[in-house]
Amino acid sequence: MIERRRFLTSATAAAAVLAAPPLIRRANAQSVLDIAAVYSLSGTFANVGSALNDGSKWAVEAYGSAGGNKLNYVLLDDRGDAGEAVRKVQEVMTQHGIKHVVGCTNSAIGLAVQKEVHARGGIYVNEAGADEITGKDCNRSSFRWPVACYSAVNSTVRPLIDKFPQAKRWYTITGQYVFGDSLLSNCKQVFQEKGIQHVGNSYHSLSDREYSGYIATALSAAPDVLAVCNFGNQTVDVIRQAVSYGMKRNTKILAVWSTGLDQYQALGPENCDGVYFGCNFWHGVDSPGGRRVAEIVKQKTGDVPNYLHACGYAVAQVLIEGINKAGSTDVPKIIGALEGLSYEGPTGTETVRPQDHQVLKDYYLMLGKAKGAMKDKNDFADVVAATKAFLPPDKTGCTMG
Amino acid sequence: MSTQLLLFQVLNGLGIGMIYFLLSVGLTLIFGLMRFVNFAHGAFYLAAAYIAYAISLAFGSIWWALLIGPLAIAALALVIERLLLRHTYAMPHEAQILITFAVALLFQEIVILIFDPLAKSVPVPASLSGIVFLGPYVYPAYRLAVVAAAAVIAVVLWLVVERTKFGAMLRAGSENAEMVGLLGINVDRVFMAAFALGGALAGLAGVLAAPLRGAEPFMSTEALGIAFVVVVVGGLGTLTGALVGGLLIGLVQSIMSTLWPEAAQLMIYAAMALVLLVRPAGLFGRF
């Protein structure tokens, strides 16, 4: 009996010893929280998607954990296709139980993913520009970091009209997609309000890369200002070709939405000089949050951050700040924590507006400078104006459906 | 559309067309002479654009790239042809497409690794940076220079293919390689030279196009798309076809960008479909 009892005791002790390490490990280990990031790593805007992806990934790496959970970055390459983005989001949400999603490379993708994530009870922070994101298509699950098209237009077109009251004839070249159309409709509203003559618009498709025909049409309209309402490399190509056709001689050129430094580098100072750009982020604007982004990007690239890095960083930051404030990965708790949250973002103190989940932040009107005036290799432009121009919540059309 | 604007668009379309000819002539040469579908053509164009970028950084201008770019790409094409592609000549076109597409992807990823995914500026040479006045119209001086260069290349290529012994060997090799081989001509070497020449032309197009549209890792797909449209419209394997096809596509794009801007890009493909309906082998292709 004694031997039997001793055997049982010894066996139990041995079992406890053998089982202890995994139990101890489990007790000490943080649970892992997957954050899915939706970006286009191929297609027309692949270079944009790739840099945005870097920014989001670096933010997740830099924070490391949120709400007591170790963060794990899960990249979903949508290949520039909204349908593909939705399919991949469906897959990770249903099969892997992921609820926390960030990122999009264009507005069409952002709108599609926003609807999907909401339907599946997740939370989504994105960088789409179209007004609908925090307008009629808004929902409780979705948050947007960059400004909407309304803000971009009102922070650039309006100050430029005020600065050059004689420039009454405006021509627009617009990308025929959700984002371009959204910029154009806002431009038309400002034109109407300010008594500006909209002397013409040329739509171009998503796949266009040759714009000289549109430039020729614009030249024939003899505008005072050419407003470029598109996105990504298409903005760069339109400006480069407009400048090459001598448009700067008699016409002011404004890119209502630019991605800032990376586009100025792609254009070179010879094309940037004298051109106006709207921009969500500029590395030259000093702020605590901006310095943090700058340190991380410096470590990774040895250079200053561009808008794409900052924007990719910012969408992940918003989500992580929400999780930290909520102290939980529970989606409704994070949504509640984010509403009204103020934090140090890449452009300074940024606030999440509860009514439509729009992050309130500055949008910059910038003026490209000549090569001789550049203080360093990244000093392409000066900030002419920094404006927070947002539609009042009751005018956005957002009902939090 | 006013007559003045129409004339401007015609002039502009001819300019675009010459640039498209430059993009597609290497592709049509390789297909016409070797019956080889080279999806790596866009990759050669891409690599040359980055050579232009690197040289413009080092020397402040692309002038040296005009020499180094085509030569370097010809050498690269030669290496790829010897090591990889010559083993695929007997394979079906589908296999050639897959293999050359893989080469194109490899080039794209190498460019991203060496540089980064963001677009780069390649400045127009200072002496060609202004605009020229052609009557009431303005036209970028650099574009005009590219159009002139494309015209010279068209003439030189025509002379090489139609009036030289090498050209005769190329044409004969494309008709019946076995028979030409029996006459004591090393067809393998002729094809090798043709592939290098095609690569050099893609390289020259890449260098010349870099100041027009910058350099970025995904530019090869766009160039390849246009090049194939031009080659299909003109007829596979004919230099005249590439020239006329390029001009036709350029004109359609330019004029439609005023008449129906939303569909200007689409009209390129509509024009291609129309040509194929009327002449399935393309304007100058052989049935």
**B2/A214 Cβ within 8 A:** no
Q: Are strands A252-258 and A225-229 parallel, antiparallel or unpaired?
A: parallel
Residues of chain B found within 8 Å of residue A216, distances taken between Cβ atoms:
5, 8-9, 12, 254, 257-258
- In which residue are the tokens 């500029």 written? A282
* B27 occurs within a structural domain: yes
pLDDT over 90 percentage in chain A: 83
**A244/B142 Cβ within 8 A:** yes
CA-nearest residue to A267 within chain B is B121
pLDDT per residue over A208-249, tens digit each?
888 988 999 999 999 999 999 998 889 999 999 999 999 999
Structural domain boundaries enclosing B238: 3-278
Of the candidates B12, B218, B255, which has its C-beta nearest A47's C-beta? B218
Can you list the domains of chain A with their CATH numbers? 32-147+285-357 (3.40.50.2300), 150-279+363-387 (3.40.50.2300)
Residues of chain A found within 8 Å of residue B5, distances taken between Cβ atoms:
216-217, 220
Element (DSSP H or E) covering residue A396:
none
pLDDT at A2 (0 to 100): 44
* B55 occurs within a structural domain: yes
**A265/B262 Cβ within 8 A:** no
Q: Which of B:232-261 have CB within 8 Å of A? A: 253-258, 261
For chain A, which residues lie within 8 Å of any Cβ of chain B, measuring from their own Cβ? 42-44, 46-47, 50-51, 176, 202-205, 207-214, 216-217, 219-220, 233, 236-237, 240-241, 244-246, 262-263, 265-268, 270-271, 301, 306, 308
Is B13 touching A (CB cutoff 8 A)?
yes
Q: Which tops the pLDDT comparison, A208 or B51?
A: B51
ipTM of the complex: 0.84
CA-nearest residue to A53 within chain B is B117
Residues of chain B found within 8 Å of residue A204, distances taken between Cβ atoms:
257, 261-262, 264-265
Residues of chain B found within 8 Å of residue A245, distances taken between Cβ atoms:
131, 138-140
* B181 occurs within a structural domain: yes
Q: Distance from B179 to chain A by nearest Cα, in Å?
A: 45
Which of A194-198, B123-127, B135-139, B219-223 has the highest mean predicted lDDT (pLDDT)?
A194-198
pLDDT at B43 (0 to 100): 94
**Which residue from A280, A229, A283, A230 is spatially nearest to A259, judged by alpha carbons?**
A280
CA-nearest residue to A206 within chain B is B265
Task: State how far the alpha carbon of A161 is from the alpha carbons of A215, A258, A381, in Å.
Answer: 22, 19, 20
Of A108-117, A131-140, A385-394, B134-143, the least confident? B134-143
pLDDT at A46 (0 to 100): 83
Is the pLDDT score of A12 beyond 80? no
**Angle CA(B159)–CA(B160)–CA(B162) in degrees, nearest 5?**
65
Q: How confident is the model at residue A1 (pLDDT cuts 50, 70, 90)?
A: very low
pLDDT at B180 (0 to 100): 83
Task: State how far the alpha carbon of A335 is from the alpha carbons of A124, A130, A331, in Å.
Answer: 10, 21, 6
The whole-number average pLDDT for the span A350-375 is 96
**B140/A244 Cβ within 8 A:** yes
Q: How confident is the model at residue A29 (pLDDT cuts 50, 70, 90)?
A: low
Residues of chain A found within 8 Å of residue B268, distances taken between Cβ atoms:
none
Computed on alpha carbons and rounded to an integer, the radius of gyration of chain B in Å comes to: 19
Q: Distance from A262 to chain B by nearest Cα, in Å?
A: 7
Q: Distance from B96 to chain A by nearest Cα, in Å?
A: 22
The whole-number average pLDDT for the span B105-120 is 88
Average pLDDT of chain B is 89
* B285 occurs within a structural domain: no
Q: How confident is the model at residue A3 (pLDDT cuts 50, 70, 90)?
A: low
* The two structure tokens encoding residue B247: 């001009």
pLDDT at A391 (0 to 100): 92
User: What is the rounded distance in angstroms from the CA atom of residue B209 to the CA atom of residue A280?
Assistant: 30
Is the pLDDT score of B274 beyond 50? yes
Of the candidates A210, A212, A268, which has its C-beta nearest B121's C-beta? A268
* B185 occurs within a structural domain: yes
Whether B246 and B24 have beta carbons less than 8 Å apart is answered as: yes
* B286 occurs within a structural domain: no
* B287 occurs within a structural domain: no
* B149 occurs within a structural domain: yes
**B119/A266 Cβ within 8 A:** yes
**Angle CA(A316)–CA(A319)–CA(A320) in degrees, nearest 5?**
85
* The two structure tokens encoding residue A45: 């805007």
CATH of the domain at B66: 1.10.3470
Beta-bridged to residue B137, according to DSSP, are B134
Is the pLDDT score of B69 beyond 50? yes
* DSSP annotation of A134: G
Is B42 touching A (CB cutoff 8 A)?
no
**A262/B16 Cβ within 8 A:** no
* The two structure tokens encoding residue A378: 């990244």
Is the pLDDT score of A394 beyond 50? yes
pLDDT at A95 (0 to 100): 94
| Helical pair A307-326 and A288-301, crossing angle rounded to 10 deg | 120
**A204/B264 Cβ within 8 A:** yes
**Which residue from A4, A26, A24 is spatially nearest to A16, judged by alpha carbons?**
A24
The string over B240-254, giving b where at least 16 C-beta atoms fall within 10 Å of a residue's C-beta and e elsewhere, is ebbbbbbbbbbbbbb
CA-nearest residue to B119 within chain A is A266
Q: How confident is the model at residue B32 (pLDDT cuts 50, 70, 90)?
A: confident
pLDDT at A10 (0 to 100): 52
Number of domains in chain B: 1
pLDDT over 70 percentage in chain B: 99
pLDDT over 70 percentage in chain A: 92
Is B118 touching A (CB cutoff 8 A)?
yes
Q: Chain A interface, mutation test: which of B62, B224, B252, B265, most A Cβ atoms within 10 Å?
A: B265
Across the A:B interface, residue pairs with CB atoms under 8 Å apart total 129
Q: How confident is the model at residue B287 (pLDDT cuts 50, 70, 90)?
A: low
Is the pLDDT score of B90 beyond 90? no
pLDDT per residue over A344-358, tens digit each?
999 999 999 999 999
Which of A9-18, A38-47, A198-207, A252-261 has the highest mean predicted lDDT (pLDDT)?
A252-261
pLDDT per residue over A64-110, tens digit each?
999 999 999 999 999 999 999 999 999 999 999 999 999 999 989 99
CB atoms within 10 A of CB B262: 14
Is B216 touching A (CB cutoff 8 A)?
yes
Q: How confident is the model at residue A22 (pLDDT cuts 50, 70, 90)?
A: very low
Of the candidates A51, A213, A271, which has its C-beta nearest B257's C-beta? A213
Q: Is the dihedral of CA B235, B239, B240, B243 positive or negative?
A: positive
The whole-number average pLDDT for the span B238-260 is 90
User: What is the rounded distance in angstroms from the CA atom of residue B262 to the CA atom of residue B215?
Assistant: 26
The whole-number average pLDDT for the span B30-40 is 83
CA-nearest residue to B108 within chain A is A42
Q: Which of B:119-138 have CB within 8 Å of A? A: 119-124, 129-131, 138
CA dihedral of residues B158, B159, B164, B168 (deg, nearest 10): 20
